[in-house]
Structure 1
């Protein structure tokens, strides 16, 4: 089932034929020993993805939003305090979600396109007695990547749990739960994600990794305000997928196993370099057309870019013309709506996808009466990509 369109939005991302073939496999009973073996293998590779050797991983039917809920609901009790470190629209969703569970929420908000100052986070944590802090690794509204080297120590000095939203980052940027950020105690406590972005699998799976301190936070509570999202109900299943709690999405697990096999076989370090090179190269190529990223290169994400339009380019017309050519990109949100577009460069995409994308952008600008050096843009993309691999 070849992809008929060039789907370059913040997610879902293009799906490799081998993953489609796995998804289309004959549905087995969820207790079938053959399926149990597939599920176990998927869970083991999920642990490898996050280097989560002393915690637990959870893979359940749902979306990234469910992953957020699982992460917050199981670690922060009603009345306790959560700090949201926000680099954009999707970071802010933690605030609404947490308030639904009666959690007290404070927010540190960066200007869109900028980083939150780690020193401000450290000061806030020292004063606020927070149970946990959320950080969105890549905010898909702004294309800003969080600086974990600065933020993890800033949070962990206070003893708060560090909850990382990896929805637009996992399998493209390092999220190593054994990594020590300057101190043996300064590690990621929760990483949450979904299947449909850099992992390259269709939407449908909520994926969450809990470290020892996050598991202890749930164990210390008698109950939580949930049933399906309560990790205590899922731990026996994740340790033995032959047991039953709720019917797993059998075919999605087939696809997930194949997707993770592709990730692991490519090699995590190689995959991280490829994504970093693609991000830099896409932004460099589009810059030839006078299209500037919202985020400076120092804070720009490897997985997605928010690109400001040159003067006089109509957003709806531009994206509509590209869609007619088979290339799909996303509009921007909030105050950037109509002023910028968002382009994903993550998952199982390759160099040729973006050579074609940059050509189509140039052709579309020409059709709209704008000057565009298509060959120059393609050459710049190739130069930067090859120079950063």
Structure 2
């Protein structure tokens, strides 16, 4: 199925033909040995993606469900959670946790900036926090958290480290056995969805639990959920031929193919490609006077929040691009109308962004602004091949 548009929002991301083909495969029974084999294969690749020595869960649902699963299976009602937020999606942990009776405190960064490590140390020194959530890449701001700084601080306090990897997994390293300065300083939960850097259509919640997170669930007599209780899913993840709730058979086909593409490229090469693409896209757009909200030292490889030059009308700009077959996203909250968000992850290609820069330049000219398209493309190409 050929893509009729360039979908360059922060997710869903472009889907390639091989994944569409897998999605349209004949639906097998969910206990059919042929399907079970595919499901097992996708789970094995998911474990490799996160390099976990714990368990992974691939369940019908969205990234929001993955957030819920991570929270309710590690933190009991009345216990304390610290949310480290770099934007709108970090903030979403707050109402989610409160709805389950969890006590929540928050440290919020200025949009575009990192939370200062010292603030985290001071807050954790108060004691009593069962877990800390960090959004690896916040989809609202394009800021990537500094795990090298945050993981040791959190783990030293004794809290569990929960990483929201929705807009990072399969594009940025999320190694759950990586030690951040001490053998015990490793991440405990990583969660994501299928529709971002993995490059599969929306529909799957994906969560990896390390040994300490699994032990936390084991110590809880019950959780405030049924579908979200990992104890109900553990037997199925260990043997997908068993039944608990009907799995999304065709989505598993697509996910399996998407993960095969990820693994075929190689994780190291894939991370390098995303780093190069993010820098190059921002460099190309800067030629047009479009500046990223996040400076390069905090900017993510997967998406960018781009501030408009003076005089560019957001709704008109995005509408004109959409008419040309290029779809980008508006900004959120206080940045609404002042910026746009562009995704550059998953199956997105160099060729796609050369075309995107040309369309952006053409649109700016149509709206009465100057735009050196040749220079923008040249800058993009130079940076992409030099990173």
Q: Show the 5 A alignment for 1:134-173.
A: 134-173=133-172
Structure 2 match to 1:84: 83
Q: Secondary structure at the match of 1:222?
A: coil
How many residues were matched structurally? Answer: 387
Deviation at 1:128, TM superposition (A): 3.2
Structure 2 unaligned runs (5+)? none
Q: Distance in 2 between matches of 1:239 and 1:82?
A: 30
3-state SS of paired residue (2:232)? helix
Listed one character per residue, the Cα deviations across residues 264-292 of structure 1 (whole Å, up to 9, x for unaligned) are: 00000000000000000000000000000
1:115-126 correspondence runs (5 A): 115-126=114-125
Partners of 1:359 and 1:383 in 2: how far apart?
Answer: 16
Deviations 1:288-319 (A, max 9, x none): 00000000000000000000000000000000
Partner of 2:302: 303
Task: Give the deviation of 1:223 after TM superposition.
Answer: 0.4
Q: After the TM superposition, list the runs of 4 or more consecutive aligned residues in structure 1 that deviate by more than 6 angstroms.
A: none
1:1-389 to 2 correspondences below 5 Å: 1-52=1-52, 54-388=53-387
Whole-Å Cα distance in 2 between the matches of residues 98 and 286 of structure 1? Answer: 38
Check the 8 A contact 1:119/1:154 in 2, yes or no. no
Q: Kindly provide the CA deviation profile for residues 104-145 of structure 1, in whole angstroms up to 9, marking residues without a partner as x.
A: 000000000000011211221121310000000000000000
- Cα distance in 1 for partners of 2:76, 2:16 equals 41
Task: Give the superposition deviation at 1:64.
Answer: 0.1
Question: Does the 8 Å CA contact 1:14/1:349 hold for their aligned counterparts?
Answer: yes
- Find the aligned partners of 1:326 and 1:162 in 2 and give their Cα distance: 41
* Separation (CA, whole Å) in 2 of partners of 1:68 and 1:12: 18
What CA distance in whole angstroms lies between the structure 1 residues aligned with 2:74 and 2:54?
14
How many angstroms apart in 2 are the aligned matches of 1:364 and 1:245?
51
Q: Which runs of 5+ in 1 are unaligned?
A: none
CA distance in 2, matches of 1:334, 1:36: 43
Query: What is the CA–CA distance in structure 2 between the aligned matches of 1:85 and 1:62, rounded to whole Å?
Result: 24
Cα separation, 2, equivalents of 1:354 and 1:17: 19
SS in 2 for 1:154: helix
For the aligned residue pairs, the C-alpha RMSD in angstroms reads 0.4
Distance 1:266 1:232 in 2: 34
CA distance in 2, matches of 1:251, 1:123: 48
Inter-partner Cα distance in structure 2 for 1:287 and 1:6:
21
